[in-house]
Amino acid sequence: MEGVTESPPIGLKPAKFEVPDIIVVVVYFAFVIGVGIWSSVRASRGTVGGYFLAGRSMTWWPIGASLMASNVGSGLFVGMAGSGAAGGWAVGAFEWNATWVLVALGWIFVPVYIASGVVTMPEYLKKRFGGRRIRLYMSVLSLILYIFTKISTDIYSGALFIQVSLGWNIYLSTVLLLSVTAIYTVAGGLTAVIYTDTLQTVIMVIGAFVLMFISFNEIGWYPGLEKKYMEAIPKIIVPNTTCHLPRADSYHMFRDPITGDLPWPGLIFGLTIIATWVWCTDQVIVQRSLSAKNMSHAKGGSIVGGYLKILPMFFVVMPGMISRALYPDEIGCVDPKACMDFCGIEVSCSNVAYPKLVITLMPVGLKGLMIAVIMAALMSSLTSIFNSASTIFTLDIWLRIRRKAKEQELMIVGRVFIVILVAISILWIPIIQAANSGLLFDYMQSVTSYLSPPVTAIFILAIFVKRVNEPGAFWGLVIGLVVGLIRMIMDFIYTAPTCGQEDTRPSVLKDVHYLYFAMLLFGLTCIVCIVVSLFTPAIPDHELGRMTWWTRNRVNQNDDLETSLEKSPEVTDGPPVYTIDKQPGDPEEIMEGFQNDCHSDDKVQIDEGHHSCWKKVYYWFCGLSLAPVAQLSKKEQLIQQNKMTNIEEEPFWKRFCDINALILLAINVFLWGYFG
């Protein structure tokens, strides 16, 4: 134990934070707040379409950058680098798989979403199937997943990095970051989030590449990594075990389908199911693409995002491996006492691989840059989650409670809900600290594998199989959720053994990898959905509107399915036959013309002098006007709606996007083959 006691826990030796580092961090915060205020002022923030979809005016490059920033949180820098340190570069497949699914988002899913005129993913399912229970189910499930997986892991990893590198109090630093993110998210809506995400992406990529080059230079570039990683064995080992040795397949993407830690069939098929949920059906990601000014810009955003997702393999995974090669006793520890002395976690210290590089290798000034990188990753992912969760709560849940809510009320409710989310996030910190995970990235992916496949299945069936109806979709979701929850609860009850312990878990846990389980759960949900649909009445083809891939180009959108389903009076036996009947006060009726953004020339000028100063400031912050707004006529509303649901493209830009997508996929295939 002598080697461990000479080196105090890393948390007790924070990086020396000097004046240049402080200046870099202060400049970073000033830039972020400045961009947030600038984008908030220029944004249309007083309407549902303006606040939640940026008025559908975004171009390809901020969309692509925001897709990257929304997904690359501090959890990725800490968790993925840790997984790279522990098992080699196969974990990079999680990033490269995203390229294919991002192309599917731009070419398959977004055209259907835009054609159907939806703002949220639960709203799409409601329009596609009718009824209300699926929309409510999806809304509640999405919010639970955001709070207990995405927000929690991002805050935990960000707090871990800040504590390790700066020695700051976790509560103080987290409250500061959450407060800054909440201010411009509440004030500016999606426009502010996307533009600040763009700035954060630039900072993340530059900073991460700087650390990557310094790390490679330290280890002797790629030949040095190949040699030293396989020699990275800690001095203190657990006798009669091999868990201290680097994996023999560390330099292979495709690993044994039985014994591999990431078996190749699961990496190709199971991972694609999970990735489809993340990139094609999750509100956080899809909301960025829905803000595009037209289909070509949505596709361009997917291409930019696809290229950016290739990079983390090089500036996150490989630096994680370098960290283990340089500091095998700390990052590669397997003895519980040695790990506890170093990082305070008995299972593994892989999660501190990236922070260790930052505080050890980065010179003065650049340490501040890397702190800014992690803060950028944390803030960009949290703002995206806050904005999307607010969208779902306001449009899918609040409008159910307050059916006659006016647009001004929706704007206030959306902003208040973000403040509530921030409070919940802060209260969640001690629970996250108590649930330290040895491999944070594996934890995130396994939980996702248990809960997301049923959602992926229903969205794919909804888009491609016209025969699927509401009872089939609902029971597919419910049964899939129950099975997934059983596996997840078992995972928490029967924890994986540490080094040297016998694996006494049930066979369904130790022999069925979570990626294989995702494949089985996806198949089960599809079977249940299709079987139930075949035994219940089909939705008439003319009532599908523009809700499927096959009907997305129909001239007239049929909105009948936006209403509840009622049993037909003329049917007395057998399964219920549904007729469609629009009810007054439905949320979709309230949202008619939601794209009517407020501009100064639309407003009727009135004397505002009788309003108090605090009220004027409050209304300005919320993007609301004290003056009445001119209402569009029915004809103008129809023209505006047709414009916003238009998926036609100019032939030149359509071909241009298609060619660039093929080039992107060709590069991706080459990388898979080279590193496979």
Domain ranges of the chain: 2-497+514-539+652-675
Identify whether the C-beta of residue 70 lies closer than 8 Å to the C-beta of residue 384. Answer: yes
2-497+514-539+652-675 has which CATH code? 1.20.1730.10
| Distance (Å, whole) CA 448 – CA 450 | 5
| The pLDDT value given to residue 197 | 72
| The pLDDT value given to residue 638 | 56
Task: Return the residue matching tokens 């590449």.
Answer: 209
| The pLDDT value given to residue 475 | 94
- Is residue 650 packed enough to be buried (19+ CB in 10 Å), middle (13-18) or exposed (0-12)? exposed
| The pLDDT value given to residue 613 | 61
Tokens at residue 231, please?
Answer: 């020699």
Classified as helix, coil or strand, 633 is coil
Task: Return the residue matching tokens 């006007």.
Answer: 625
| The pLDDT value given to residue 42 | 56
- 349's enclosing H/E stretch is none
| The pLDDT value given to residue 562 | 44
- Cα angle: 228, vertex 233, 236; to 5 degrees: 155
- Cα angle: 57, vertex 60, 66; to 5 degrees: 90
Please list the rounded mean pLDDT of every run of 10 residues in the chain (676 residues): 37 62 79 70 50 63 81 75 84 89 93 87 88 84 77 72 68 70 59 71 83 89 85 77 76 82 87 91 83 87 91 89 86 78 73 82 79 73 76 81 75 79 72 53 74 92 93 94 89 73 77 89 95 93 88 65 41 36 41 40 43 53 48 53 72 92 94 84
**Whether this model's pTM surpasses 0.85:** no
| The pLDDT value given to residue 40 | 60
| The pLDDT value given to residue 189 | 56
Q: 29 CB contacts (<8 Å, ≥6 apart)?
A: 180
